[in-house]
């Protein structure tokens, strides 16, 4: 069973009644990383009136923090946190920077603007699933290469790397619950004329049917 996080670091900007809002998003592993990112954004946007933030960390989403950074209580940090939670994300930090344009937005306007900043930033970053998987290496003769490539393509098993020497070595990432099926199918089409090595279990990121390493 995996969980959702953002794919990488991204930002998105929009203007609301002359105030400029910039949503900054990043995937993090620890609260220290989240704080570092918040401080980095604050440093980059020293002239901004507010740098509102929120983050959720941990597979069980056990760490949740937020700050209104000078905005009226409940109008900035909580809306950003709610966007993260409603998106089902963890290991995610969001900072929404506001350059004040001189027009007051009111409590409702601020909530909508900060929510929009968080939502747009997350959309720009992209959402991925974090799952337990492994790296599988398959070694076989050249004449069997086409058969293996075909069965992998038909099942959306992505071959990440191919090395050529006296034999062909193919590498792919797969979820742990698919290891036996992949092995069995490849053994069948190669009549057992292949060998496998499988790495230890670790976390990978999943987008669609494809896994990619951290």
* Token reading at 158: 């992505």
Q: Give the CATH number, domain containing residue 43.
A: 3.30.230.30
Q: What are phi and psi of 79, to 5 degrees?
A: -60, -40
Which H or E element spans position 136? strand 127-140
| Domain termination site, one of 125, 148, 163 | 125
Sign of CA dihedral 140, 150, 1, 64: positive
Residue 110: pLDDT band with limits 50, 70, 90: very high
- On whether both 116 and 20 belong to a single domain, the answer is yes
- On whether both 28 and 85 belong to a single domain, the answer is yes
- On whether both 79 and 138 belong to a single domain, the answer is no
- On whether both 10 and 114 belong to a single domain, the answer is yes
- On whether both 58 and 81 belong to a single domain, the answer is yes
pLDDT of residue 30: 95
| Domain termination site, one of 102, 125, 148 | 125
pLDDT of residue 104: 86
Residue 214: pLDDT band with limits 50, 70, 90: low
pLDDT at 149 over 90: yes
The residue range of the domain holding 161 is 131-212
Per-residue pLDDT tens over the stretch 168-211:
999 999 999 999 999 999 999 999 999 999 999 988 998 888 89
| Domain termination site, one of 125, 147, 174 | 125
Residue that the structure tokens 């909580």 belong to: 78
pLDDT of residue 59: 87
- On whether both 11 and 110 belong to a single domain, the answer is yes
Residue 2: pLDDT band with limits 50, 70, 90: confident
Q: Give the CATH number, domain containing residue 174.
A: 3.30.70.240
Residue 1: pLDDT band with limits 50, 70, 90: low
pLDDT at 84 over 80: yes
Query: Residue 21 and residue 19: Cα distance in Å, rounded?
Result: 6
pLDDT at 119 over 60: yes
- On whether both 49 and 147 belong to a single domain, the answer is no
Strand 92-99 to strand 50-57: parallel, antiparallel, or no bridges (unpaired)? antiparallel
Nearest to 124 by CA among 40, 214, 34, 23: 23
Query: Residue 204 and residue 177: Cα distance in Å, rounded?
Result: 14
The residue with greater pLDDT, 2 or 137, is: 137
């Amino acid at each position: 069973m995996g969980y959702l996080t953002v794919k990488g670091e991204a930002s998105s900007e929009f203007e609301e009644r002359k105030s400029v809002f910039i949503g900054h998003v990043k995937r993090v592993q620890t609260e220290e990383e989240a704080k570092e990112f918040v401080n980095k954004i604050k440093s980059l946007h020293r002239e901004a009136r507010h740098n509102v933030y929120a983050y959720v960390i941990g597979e069980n989403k056990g760490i949740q923090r937020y700050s209104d950074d000078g905005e009226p209580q409940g109008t900035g940090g909580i809306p950003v946190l709610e966007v993260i939670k409603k998106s089902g994300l963890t290991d995610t930090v969001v900072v929404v920077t506001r350059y004040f344009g001189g027009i007051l937005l009111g409590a409702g306007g601020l909530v909508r603007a900060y929510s929009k900043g968080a939502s747009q930033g997350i959309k720009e970053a992209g959402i991925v699933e974090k799952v337990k998987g492994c790296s599988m290496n398959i070694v076989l003769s050249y004449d069997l290469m086409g058969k293996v490539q075909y069965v992998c393509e038909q099942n959306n098993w992505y071959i990440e790397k191919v090395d050529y020497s006296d034999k062909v070595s193919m590498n792919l990432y797969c979820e742990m619950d698919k290891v036996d099926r992949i092995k069995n199918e490849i053994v069948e089409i190669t009549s057992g004329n292949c060998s496998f090595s499988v790495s230890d279990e670790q976390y990978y990121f999943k987008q669609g049917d494809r896994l990619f390493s951290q």
